[in-house]
Amino acid sequence: MSGSILSLDGKGLKLNSRADLDPWLANVDPTKIEEIHLGGNTIGVDASLALAEFLQKTTILKIADFADIFTGRLISEIPLALTAICDALKDKTSLVELNLSDNAFGGRSVEPMVPFLTHNRTFQVLKLNNNGLGPAGGVVLATALLESAKLSKAEGKTSSLRTVICGRNRLEDGSASAWAEAFAAHGTLQEVRMPQNGIRMDGITALARGLAQCPALQHIDLQDNTFTADGEVSGVEAWTEALKAWPELTTLNLSDCVLSGDGEVPVIITALAAGSSPKLHTLQLQNNNLETESFLALASGVPKMTSLMLLEVQWNEVEEDDENLKTLALHLKRRGGKLLATDDDEEEDEEEEKEEEAAPAAEKPKDSLDDLVDQLSKVGIH
């Protein structure tokens, strides 16, 4: 433990009983804990009950990180353990973030989260990545969030929810409408990440319309879902319309989304190139079916995309020596930005990041020498 943080992160502990957990909590004052991180361990029912007792005594807890805590557990154990943990957090008004990612509990084990999601209306960040929720589990959780929004509205309060991360959960179209309704009801979201969920055109369209009710959105990640199918483009058009509702948008990830205009420029590319998102800093369009015409539109529009600093377009239907890519790279370089259009660009970017991380340490001796010279000069020694 360090200060107000209790962390057993990555220790690989098998905590079955109360006795297994007690040594790690024995000398910890729960009233001083602001963060608890238990990821990378496996926690059984009895240990979860002991953990819940500890959590109930916390008074200033802000971050509850319980990602990857059920590896190797029976499916029958998880609901009981989750119930203990979530019920202990239900009334924590200090709580800002709950992370239950990477637990693979599936749709059969989501009910224990419902009371927390419905009644704790002060938390801001919900992370449920890679839990195998499926459409049915997604509907249960989205419905709980919708009920929470309705309760807040009935009390005349603005929702506190700011971030929802729920990727790799097989949510599909079957739960997309429920999520869209919940997002619209909260209306306060700033970051939504739902990559790799098998959501197709109908679901994508619903999400666009729901998220359009969240004017403060800054970060959207829908990577590896499907925006077009069989020549239909209604999903893309819905998102193009929604762009107008997000003046604060800084990051948009539409990689692996089957973006294609079938010989025409996808309307969402046209809208972005026209400057629909004035604060857009990062645009990710890798591994789509974008052709030369799309890159011509981006190259022509990049002067209007005044905040754009990173554009990722690898693995599209365009030659590496395309003139439009050269134009994009030149514009971005002039403003200190970067175009990633090939694997070589990505490797070069990684190398530059390593050099930047190493640079401060290498420069310290020189800085120290310069400082010494300055100090000696001030006292008349040259």
Residue 2: band (very low, low, confident or very high) from pLDDT cuts 50, 70, 90: low
What residues have CB less than 8 Å from 86, skipping those under 6 apart?
112, 113, 115, 116
Question: What was the pLDDT predicted at 240?
Answer: 92
Residues 286-300 have a mean pLDDT of: 96
> How many angstroms separate the CA atoms of 156 and 154, rounded?
5
Q: Side-chain half-sphere of 132: how many Cα atoms within 13 Å?
A: 9
Residue 229: band (very low, low, confident or very high) from pLDDT cuts 50, 70, 90: low
Radius of gyration from C-alpha coordinates of the chain: 24
Question: What was the pLDDT predicted at 33?
Answer: 98
Quick one: which of 256, 251, 257 has its CA closest to 272? 251
Nearest 5 degrees, angle CA 129-CA 130-CA 133?
100
126 backbone dihedrals φ, ψ, rounded to 5° = -125, 120
Architecture per CATH, 1-105:
Alpha-Beta Horseshoe (3.80)
Residues 149-191: tens digit of each pLDDT: 999 999 999 999 999 999 999 999 999 999 999 999 999 999 9
Residues 13-64: tens digit of each pLDDT: 999 999 999 999 999 999 999 999 999 999 999 999 999 999 999 999 999 9
* 279, 252 Cβ separation under 8 angstroms: no
Question: What was the pLDDT predicted at 69?
Answer: 98
Confidence (pTM): 0.90
> How many angstroms separate the CA atoms of 322 and 342, rounded?
12
> How many angstroms separate the CA atoms of 225 and 15, rounded?
37
Task: With H, G, I as helix, E, B as strand and everything else as coil, classify residue 300.
Answer: helix
Residue 372 pLDDT exceeds 50:
no
What's the whole-number average pLDDT of the chain? 91
- By CB neighbour count within 10 A (0-12 exposed, 13-18 middle, 19+ buried), where does 321 fall? exposed
295 backbone dihedrals φ, ψ, rounded to 5° = -75, -25
Residue 379: band (very low, low, confident or very high) from pLDDT cuts 50, 70, 90: very low
Residues 95-148: tens digit of each pLDDT: 999 999 999 889 989 999 999 999 999 999 999 999 999 999 999 999 999 999
Token pair 């991360």: residue: 165
